[in-house]
Structure 1
């Protein structure tokens, strides 16, 4: 097999940072990561206002919330190709332009434009999701745990901010739902302004286009990593979309149910910072992956069936479990990759296929609710997903790397 340079064994690519700029690069990565989830979480909290103002049907509302998730799966797999063609830095710059423009255009009251803007932002998020992992592998190979912790923490912080601050800021500023959605343009524009001076002068690594990663899609370990990513996301989006309605059906007030979900998401922030370091210190990640899968399903069942007096404690444990599975899924993409080129391809595969799998979770919860008249049947679905997640984690957590390699075209 032909040798090729990696971040840990040779000089960095021409577009990589020099040592004194690593701090600024890390800050840029964190700010970009922060902007990868407010598009989802800010929409859900003002969706009733949108439906009331526009007369949108239930089917259209469901499509609007699902559209960005579908984009995550549909466009993630083209990210490695774009990274090779344009360079990682310039591709991420284009992603931030799409996210900023899409977020701004969501402030329109025109429904076709709202759908188009959500898709535009979703495309940018899909590609950035993939390439940030490759960037960490390339430029922070000796600091992977720290950077993946900061990266996943920023993603969770963005999701929590969108869920927790959209309505309070909307009320404090006297905004309509259009302004509430559009105000998330501000952090996106900040990240864009910080990233542009670094990205625009950067050139793509000429060697990248001369190599093609082979053997990934036939590798069992790659599929286990992919399924772990997809199945944990299916549970995460089910919680994000349906836990509040479940709790309201059990008798909690609407505001209280929303606060429970917000607390669970907020707890994920510190968990995401700690988990990658913990994972890297283990001989393998099998016990961690299986344990987190069991904890996720157990606490989700507790939220559905245990006495409501303990709901706040169960929400905290659920946040720990889901923050752990999310950060572990992203960390294993990097840990199971031998180099940055394979990391980009594995990230595209895991997130492309994974998010398409994830989109089925909340959809099936809604269908089961419609068919049975309650959310109880969803407990069986969550249990089945949890078993599959534990099995995938048992495979993906092994201390191996995928049998794929970047070879000359």
Structure 2
């Protein structure tokens, strides 16, 4: 029979010089509980930020016709509203290293949500300048978020990177689906005002900023791009004798990840821009054509969620890349041969393939990096150059359609590019880390922590 000694607490206090007045196991359990709650809050904040990284762009397309009529814009000017953000994703991505050095990774994530909300709200002003300026701000905020989210996941959730990348890519498609599917139905709530139907999407960005306030108040981190040797990831990978980002430009693995990101994004944004037009040219009503594009986001959510987990376990590694290309290629072939007859089938295949491709491209940024420091550089490179390439997709397909007078040649070009996407994606899928050529020693240490080399 156990008896509680009332003097035990006093003796413990005296022996520890008053430094431990609480049972140590209880204190450790409380600390573990606090860490778990903090990690859960951080994870929820990151996923909510991810949800916002397509809303500001996807909400434009459904009301583009209303914008054209209201502002008396030409089709060329209106196309800027859909092409500016994609080029901004690439151009502004290269500002991320400087912002990370200035504010820290987590503070920068909170700041871009404020900028995103401001950009969406600016488009409420009855001015074409405000509309285009707000669109640039939206693109800039999303560009930096695109780069920082994989870095944050690698830094804070390296033990659950596959799951978090799946949730992150799912959030991207879910945000796009909500914005494209709900913007038009909300028009009656605002007396038919397309400005307010788009402007209401500033609310999720504000909520994300509020949820991320605890992370913005934490000590400034430096795990993002251009982190110093004393970064919070604990690595000393910048001490390589040459500028890390410049060295990344000579790394074949980094270029394969970048190429895969660029090609799958080109295919995605080309489809996002022109699939409704393909359906309409085949005789489908405009409202149904818009719905078909929104519908494709739902099967994409499924493959976004499961693909990273499957790809991590499946061998050979290139199989998921090949499967994604086959699904997308089958959808393009269906749009070429019988767009109306099998519309739901083609959009299901397209969504499944695009969801798998985007989740793989984002996961490779994390998987091919030995630490958060490298993840920041690979993310900057892949999404900076990748989205600059992707911006050519909508413009190039539109030009081909104008020159040829049909969608046959543009769709054939997209199918041919899928072959190149498969080859480059296969190179990116190999189990290798970037930096192997100039930081092989660091990679070995990361892979075999039990052995110290000099």
TM norm structure 1: 0.92
One of 398, 406, 409 as aligned partner of 1:366: 398
Call closer, same or farther: CA 1:217–1:307 in 2, change over 3 Å: closer
Q: CA deviation at 1:259?
A: 1.5
Call closer, same or farther: CA 1:307–1:198 in 2, change over 3 Å: closer
User: What's the counterpart of residue 306 of structure 1?
Assistant: 338
CA distance in 1, matches of 2:93, 2:339: 41
Helix, strand or coil at the partner of 1:168: coil
User: What's the counterpart of residue 264 of structure 1?
Assistant: 296
- The alignment covers a number of residue pairs equal to 392
Matches within 5 A, 1:303-382: 303-306=335-338, 308-382=340-414
Are 1:31 and 2:63 an aligned pair? no
One of 403, 413, 428 as aligned partner of 1:396: 428
User: What's the counterpart of residue 57 of structure 1?
Assistant: 74
Report if the CA contact (8 A) 1:130-1:351 is conserved. Answer: yes
User: What's the counterpart of residue 62 of structure 2?
Assistant: 45
Q: Which runs of 4+ in 1 moved over 6 A?
A: 405-408
Helix, strand or coil at the partner of 2:244: strand
Report if the CA contact (8 A) 2:254-2:434 is conserved. Answer: yes
User: What's the counterpart of residue 234 of structure 2?
Assistant: none
Deviations 1:249-276 (A, max 9, x none): 1111112211111111222112211111
Which deviates more from structure 2 when the two are superposed, residues 160-169 or residues 380-389? 380-389
Helix, strand or coil at the partner of 1:209: coil
One of 229, 235, 244 as aligned partner of 1:213: 244
Deviations 1:214-233 (A, max 9, x none): 52110111111101001001
Report if the CA contact (8 A) 2:282-2:339 is conserved. Answer: no
User: What's the counterpart of residue 233 of structure 1?
Assistant: 265
Report if the CA contact (8 A) 1:36-1:125 is conserved. Answer: yes
Which deviates more from structure 2 when the two are superposed, residues 347-356 or residues 199-208? 199-208
CA distance in 1, matches of 2:278, 2:336: 7
User: What's the counterpart of residue 105 of structure 1?
Assistant: 122
Matches within 5 A, 1:70-149: 70-149=87-166
CA distance in 2, matches of 1:221, 1:284: 17
Deviations 1:47-106 (A, max 9, x none): 111110111122211122211111100011221332233210111122111101001111
Report if the CA contact (8 A) 2:330-2:349 is conserved. Answer: no
Deviations 1:274-299 (A, max 9, x none): 11111111245311112211221221
Higher RCO, 1 or 2 (CA under 8 Å, sep at least 6)?
A: 1
Call closer, same or farther: CA 1:29–1:384 in 2, change over 3 Å: same
Deviations 1:113-168 (A, max 9, x none): 11111101111110011001000001100101110011111111011111100000
Helix, strand or coil at the partner of 1:388: helix
Q: Which has the larger Rg?
A: 2
Are 1:157 and 2:171 an aligned pair? no
One of 269, 272, 276 as aligned partner of 1:244: 276
Report if the CA contact (8 A) 2:330-2:346 is conserved. Answer: no
Q: CA deviation at 1:195?
A: 0.8
Report if the CA contact (8 A) 1:284-1:399 is conserved. Answer: no
User: What's the counterpart of residue 207 of structure 2?
Assistant: 190
User: What's the counterpart of residue 9 of structure 2?
Assistant: none
One of 295, 299, 305 as aligned partner of 2:327: 295
Helix, strand or coil at the partner of 2:59: helix
Helix, strand or coil at the partner of 1:291: helix
CA distance in 2, matches of 1:40, 1:284: 36
Which deviates more from structure 2 when the two are superposed, residues 365-374 or residues 262-271? 262-271
Report if the CA contact (8 A) 1:153-1:273 is conserved. Answer: yes
TM norm structure 2: 0.83
Deviations 1:7-36 (A, max 9, x none): xxxxxxxxxx94431111111011100110
CA RMSD of the aligned region, Å?
Answer: 1.9
One of 175, 184, 196 as aligned partner of 1:167: 184
Q: CA deviation at 1:39?
A: 1.3
